[in-house]
Chain A
Amino acid sequence: MKRRSFIKHAAHSLAIPSFLGAMSNKSFGQTLDKFLHLANETDRALVLIYLEGGNDGLNTVIPMAHLSQLNKVRPHVVLPESGILPVEGTDFGLHPSLSGFQTLYEEGRLQVLHSVGYPQQNFSHFRSTDIWMSGSDSNELINSGWTGRYLEAKHPQFPEGYPNGENPDPLAVEIGYGSSMLFQGEKAGFSMIINNTNQFYQLLDNEQEETPDTPAGDKLRYIRLIAEQSQKYGAVVRSAAQKVPQQKVYPNTRLGNQLRVVSRLIAGGLKTPLYLVRMGGFDTHDNQVDGGDHTQGEHARLLKDLNDAVMAFMADQEFLGTADRVMGMTFSEFGRRIVSNSSGGTDHGASAPLFIFGNMSYGGYKGNAPLIDGSEEYRDNISMQHDFRQVYSSLLTQWFGSDASVNQATMMGTFGEIPVVKNALITSIEKEEPSNLKVYPNPIRDFATVKFDVFSGNIRIDIIDSQGREVKKIYEGMAQNRQFNQNFDFSMYPPGRYILRVMDGFRRSTVHLIKL
């Protein structure tokens, strides 16, 4: 990997059409030095790890209660019970490669969110990636990313006048190929892009890449040199990285190398709140596992890379003293099918588990391991328990302290929150209390059963629409049993997203409904 593109998108993040007088680089160069100060210790960062290709959720977080059913419907890839890492006090286990994640979970530093997805799953990598990056509905075509809109709401003038004393650093950093949709706002791109980790070290060392020994090569060398110098954020990034002389050992993998860079930048004082790193290869249509030993094979290697890189990242941050202000999240454009292929793989699926990790992670799990009854057919998919936008929205509020208006602009709607950060003040209307509230089936076609453990007995159940308006009170009265269990007719509601809210004395619990 000896060539590189230039500018690394400082320009792209600058790209607002205008008469360009305001962006003179000369004045920028003169004032740059004074921006190079240490970040506030409380600056928080969120690292998004994109697992490209669609990670097989059922072989990552395994529903232990349904192993025999899994054996029936996905015999070509199912993991042997003996190999699965148990997670105490839960109904799931982890892939044998995820021993580090198991430890993190036990330490309360990793949270498992079951069955995260969106209604009306799209099975195209491209389209589903766009949906995850943009935070749109499945049938909504949006060309900006959710973090891009978040940054745009916080920095409406960007890039005019940036960087500045208050915001000396890139607002987002992404490592990989080119600009993803994630950091595109409505009218500007927000990320500084480091195309690969080699490029980062070249930036640090002021290295020049090889060019052909021709007249054109001579010009190219010159252009690249100037491009390097024009990199708006090059100096701050270099300066941050140079403050970190030593790091813990990372595995020499694509993800390991990327996280190593991210950790270094955070510890070096970069105030950048958002990072995107990537790891490919999850599109395991065939040979996902070794035929002889399902705990080995391609998927096992991928998860081991993920596990080892994240563990190194966590250890490094402890060492560098930044662990309390960094959170990580994995995501993938979809999970994979329940039913496996005879070629030893799985096809594109729907909802899948998602990990949130960090010292400040809320820990534990949300939702239930998916129910597999053994009668699933090829077309069946794991239904959604958490809308992915609940996760985004929760991270914005609880981790970045984002207020309702910014959240609204970012998410283009209101999604219920789930606790993802320790001791976070959850400000949204639904203060969650564990009550084992379940509604099934969900998504709902006509009828659904509402079931929960009764606490006080004084029950009221409301349907709330996605705007937060109460649509209908569907139940009010005293519960007769320890468990509430009743079937309701939902056929009169127009298709869409709803929240079902149960008030049981002073306790409140909610569940998101999808009406088809």
Chain B
Amino acid sequence: MFPIRPGQYRHLKPKYQKVIPPDLTSGLKATSDPKAYSNARLNYIEAGLEPFSGELTDAHLVHFIKRTRFGATLEELKRLRGKSLNFIVSESLASFTPFTEPVNNYNDVSENKIDPEVPLGQSFVQAAFNRDFEGDRIVALKSWMIGRVLGPNSGIQEKMVLFWWNFLPIKMWDVFVAKSCYRYINMLHRHALGNFKELIRDLTLDPAMLVFLSGAFNNKETPDENFARELQELFCIGKGKDAGYKEQDVQAAARVLTGWTVNWDSIHTAGEPQSYFNPEMHHLGNKQFSAFYGNKLISGKEGEAGAGELDEMLDMIFATNESAKHIARKIYTFFVASEITEMAEVNVITPLANIIRQNNYNILPAMTALFSSAHFFHEEIMGALIKSPLDFILGLWRNFDMPIAESAMAEKDFYSAILWDMSGMGMEVGDPPNVAGWTPYYQAPQYDKIWINTDTILKRAIGSDSMLFWGYWISNSVNIEADLLAYVKGFTTPEDPNLLIKEFALVNLGLELSQSQIDQVKMLLLNGQDQDYYWTGAWLTHAASPNDQESAIIVTNRLKPAFQLLLQMGEAQLM
């Protein structure tokens, strides 16, 4: 059956992609001095991977939650209070919950759109390829991913999937086979805190990746070096100063990988997508690698034995010092700070890489050490990342405990509005702009500042305003607002305007507010009065008779502009 090439159905994308993510790099100015924007202060952080030994305050706890999830909720904060850091980290990193499969929630009788392969409400992850429905399935899949983050079982695994996706990406629109994309997600999820080497092996044979980086079309007759190059340049070795692989290594690796391809029958018929090794397409010659790999020679093997060359090559790659350092750097720039200083290279990256190597590329011990480290909890590390659109929007959604889709059937309509809003902010779930991931995670010298431009910052403000004021647009008939009364009831002391503001800032803003900022917000809660008791009275009146509309509205009318002001502060973009 016919193969599907990367981007083959790109022309169909405009039918489904409601908002094209803006090119965040278009306005960036090149700077002659790459150090010009870099943050010199990071250089002074001496703390390394040694365990954090300070007092674990609420600020530390929300920092941990925000970096390992999307935003932080008061509920999550409460659960962590009073527990030891060891317990918190090991528990959080162990909390993996299975998810249910995405379903056909895209049939639309009014448009005569009825998926012939998948009954309404049934899973489509085994359905045969159907070019007329893959677009709908992909949007359903993207919405489903948002549902996983907002749903009750959300945990670190969702953040890890984003981490891996950004690190080892496919673009769903280029792959265009929804069930392959799902299989890829499942693979990331399976290895989320597992073994990096095994993940790379599975990635190499992944039907979605075989399409995205055209590995499926790499054979002895028409070599394609695409995946072999990224395997080294982006995935396993990187571009660090000691990354000495050569062009020769790219060619040799491509030859090792010849013969691995997608089983196209598995795509065009029902069932899980499969890949396999086709010995007839395998390059039989010897593969000579450079000095960087110790002049390793992988001898060409005939027949099924040719498949074994892959493991020989992966052993060779992971035997270098760079592999562990490379993943350590990727973890660091995603979870800790956007830039790696020389000090951090020595005090964090090197020991982190050692742990990874000592554990044979199991990353859990390294992640545990990192999230328990003095460096991770350094006061100048906390709050110093700019939120991605997912961190900002999904974080607020979770924080406000906004309603979520009632069923899998409702997910697509419900979450696709959020999907396209975040797209407009530069981050379309499942489709990074290129194989290097989303630009703000790697592009020197601006890094995460790239998320913020005059267009996206307004869209972010509109997003938060909508949740507070007008209702977040879901469809022409559905707008969703935060239930601020229920939300504030979850605060420790909602009747105290100072503590109310501080607690809100703690979970939603990246920095502590100054007294003058607090006073300004308080003026909104106090209606311009000087005495705190005006708010206290209003809140307690409402709390005493929650069904009384008038007292409820009095409180709501003050919470809305107060929270609006807080979320429009620059600090709300930090985490």
Q: A residues within 8 Å of B by Cβ?
A: 1-3, 5-7, 9-12, 14-21, 23-26, 50, 52-53, 124-127, 129-130, 139, 141, 143, 176-181, 184, 187-189, 195-196, 212-216, 218-220, 222-224, 226-227, 229-230, 232, 278, 280-281, 283
Contact = CB atoms under 8 A, between A and B. Distances in A.
Contacts of A222: 449, 452
25 contacts: A2-B514, A3-B517, A5-B520, A10-B458, A12-B469, A14-B461, A15-B466, A19-B424, A21-B19, A21-B424, A25-B454, A125-B527, A126-B534, A127-B554, A141-B549, A177-B561, A178-B524, A181-B557, A187-B470, A213-B41, A215-B380, A216-B380, A219-B448, A280-B529, A281-B530
B554 A130 contact: yes
B569 interface: yes
B561 A20 contact: no
B114 interface: no
Given A17-B472, A177-B523, A25 B458 contact: yes
Interface string B462-475: 10011001111100
A136 to B, nearest CB: 11
A19 B421 CA distance: 7
Contacts of A213: 41
Interface of B: 18-19, 39, 41-42, 337, 379-386, 420-421, 424, 448-449, 452-455, 457-459, 461-462, 465-466, 469-473, 479, 510-511, 514, 516-517, 520-521, 523-524, 527-531, 534, 538, 549-550, 553-554, 557-558, 561-562, 564-566, 568-571, 573-574
Contacts of B383: 216
A23 B458 contact: yes
4 cross-chain pairs, A with B, having the tightest CB-CB distances, nearest first:
A17-B473, A11-B461, A52-B528, A230-B454
Contacts of A195: 520, 565
A141 B550 contact: yes
Contacts of A188: 470
B42 to A, nearest CB: 5
Given A178-B561, A227-B457, A129 B527 contact: yes
Given A14-B462, A213-B41, A220-B571, A127 B550 contact: yes
B557 A218 contact: no
B561 A180 contact: yes
Contacts of B42: 215
Contact of B458 (A5, A14, A21, A129): A14
Contacts of B421: 20
Contacts of B517: 3, 5
Given A20-B421, A222-B449, A223-B457, A215 B565 contact: no
B568 A12 contact: yes
A214 B43 CA distance: 11
A282 to B, nearest CB: 9
Contacts of A178: 520-521, 523-524, 561-562, 564-565
Nearest to A220: B570
B534 A17 contact: no
A488 B202 CA distance: 93
A181 B566 CA distance: 17
Nearest to B20: A21
Nearest to A24: B455
A6 B479 contact: no
A220 B511 contact: yes
A223 B573 contact: yes
B520 A177 contact: yes
Contacts of B510: 216
A278 B524 CA distance: 12
Given A21-B19, A188-B470, A213-B41, A230 B458 contact: yes
A238 to B, nearest CB: 15
A53 B529 CA distance: 6
Nearest to B382: A216
Contacts of B527: 52, 125-126, 129
Contact of A177 (B459, B524, B531): B524
Given A7-B458, A215-B39, A226 B384 contact: no
A129 B471 CA distance: 24
Contacts of A212: 511
Contacts of A224: 570
A283 B530 CA distance: 9
Contact of B564 (A6, A129, A179): A179
Contacts of A5: 517, 520, 565-566, 568-570
Given A9-B568, A124-B538, A216-B574, A17 B41 contact: no
Contacts of B385: 219
A280 B538 contact: no
A333 to B, nearest CB: 8
A20 B459 contact: yes
A11 B567 CA distance: 11
A49 B449 CA distance: 40
Nearest to B339: A215
Nearest to A126: B554
Nearest to A142: B553
A10 B465 CA distance: 11
B380 A214 contact: yes
A19 B18 contact: yes
B466 A17 contact: yes
A224 B424 CA distance: 20
A505 B41 CA distance: 85
Given A25-B458, A219-B449, 9 more contacts: A15-B465, A130-B553, A176-B528, A177-B565, A195-B565, A216-B384, A216-B574, A223-B570, A283-B529
B554 to A, nearest CB: 4
Contacts of B469: 12, 15, 184, 189
Contacts of A216: 380, 382-384, 510-511, 574
B44 to A, nearest CB: 10
Contacts of B562: 178
B41 A214 contact: yes
A475 B342 CA distance: 95
Contacts of A283: 529-531
A141 B556 CA distance: 12
Given A19-B18, A218-B41, A230-B455, A141 B528 contact: no
Most A-side CB within 10 Å, residue of B452, B461, B568:
B568
B457 A7 contact: yes
A25 B479 CA distance: 24
A12 B465 contact: yes
B490 to A, nearest CB: 22
B550 to A, nearest CB: 6
A4 to B, nearest CB: 8
A232 B459 CA distance: 12
Contacts of B382: 216
A24 to B, nearest CB: 7
Contact of B479 (A17, A180, A226, A278): A17
A139 B549 CA distance: 10
Nearest to A195: B520
Contacts of B529: 52-53, 125, 280, 283
Contacts of A141: 549-550, 553
Nearest to B22: A24
B400 to A, nearest CB: 15
Contacts of A1: 516
Contacts of B561: 177-180
Most A-side CB within 10 Å, residue of B39, B421, B570:
B570
Contact of A223 (B452, B530, B538): B452
Contacts of B386: 219, 223
A140 to B, nearest CB: 10
Contacts of A126: 527, 534, 538, 554, 557-558
